[in-house]
Structure 1
């Protein structure tokens, strides 16, 4: 187990119930039940649920190689149907793609898809490529919540990175997933992880040896591959 807020049995149930929901929609697609203008929406919904399962499996403690294989299988659907209008979802997907060590051609496909988004910025570019040459802190899509993370990239400095990580959960109060671990008899929670913090730490080569047990920090992903 990597998560400390829910037991293994909860995540098993989350994965089972979410998988059953996905199967219903996939059956509907194969049976031609949906109007043509709804198909991409349905496929994006399926993909979002698959990412939720992947995060739940990470929280549950599944092996990273298995998680990588499952994530890798989502890239084709991502390039076809991903709704790129939600910035924090873009950040999560890009961060996982990098941390799990996807091949360069798949990272490029993800970048090509996200570059079409109105919210594509230097933070996404840095996570996906590690390239700081054109990093522009003045053009971050959501500068306030990511301020300290951006500062850490600009200065290659650990202190603003730590400030970002320490304030990450509280600073995410407006997110749809915030507080979902408190909902009873509902399977909405899949884990709280600042994947973008891990991606930036790995890109910058920051010393994170004291963060191995830090809540919200996916330490083993930084050191995977």
Structure 2
């Protein structure tokens, strides 16, 4: 497994690492972690929290996870933040809204953090409810999401369509390849990964004074883990 096995594998062997990010420094990330933590505290103190509030709190925890990873904090120390993110994420399910990026991120991190079966089933149920929701326009079961979920869930899906094919279509196609072919294809995919996300709100945020959390291809790492690929040819890719 190489790099991903080293980072996300045996927790007892993980030691504090140097900063992982290539754009910002320790002072920046520590400041942003405090800022997002304060936002969470302020939001929780509000009364009558609704689905949007829960989703917003989860989104902040997701950003804190990336910030801490960018800073170089060992993964086993970040898992608690994922538990909090998942708790609020599940509470934030809304029949009128669904955000693909958050869903893919939470599933990918759940796989990489090796969460409990119970926690993973919460993600499965979240997706199943979303897929069955008739109030969402232009939503259907997604092949990449279910490829990841099928790796651990007893509720299998044969979904093959991709909701955002321009960005994730080629990654999904990689999941159908043999291991050697997938390893070669992923190396090429990572070279264009950042520019594929040019329309995302986090694109080029490293040029700002705040709001940048790091550029991490969590979904690619999750695919590597599920497929059991050797990442030695692309372990030095900055994403």
Same fold (TM over 0.5): yes
Task: Report if the CA contact (8 A) 2:33-2:67 is conserved.
Answer: yes
1:82 CA drift (Å): 4.1
Structure 2: runs of 5 or more not aligned: 1-18, 131-138
Select the structure with the greater relative contact order (CA < 8 A; seq sep ≥ 6).
2
Measure, in 1, the Cα distance between the counterparts of 2:93 and 2:77: 23
Name which of structure 1's ranges 85-94 and 110-119 shifts more when overlaid on structure 2.
Answer: 110-119
4+ aligned runs moved over 3 Å, structure 1: 133-137
Change (3 A) 1:136 1:82: closer
Paired position in structure 2 for 1:123:
144
Residues 123-202 of structure 1 aligned to structure 2 (within 5 Å)? 123-130=144-151, 135-137=158-160, 139-156=161-178, 157-183=182-208, 185=209, 187-202=210-225
TM-score, normalised by the number of residues in structure 1: 0.84
5+ residue gaps, structure 1: 217-225
Alignment of 1:28-177 (within 5 A): 28=46, 32=47, 34=48, 39-82=50-93, 85-117=98-130, 118-130=139-151, 135-137=158-160, 139-156=161-178, 157-177=182-202
The two structures, once aligned, show a CA RMSD in angstroms of: 2.0
Deviation at 1:63, TM superposition (A): 1.1
How far, CA to CA, are the matches of 2:21 and 2:117 in structure 1? 30
Distance 1:134 1:155, change over 3 A: farther
Please give the alpha-carbon distance, in whole angstroms, between the structure 1 residues aligned to 2:204 and 2:93: 25
The DSSP-based 3-state class of the residue aligned with 2:171 is helix
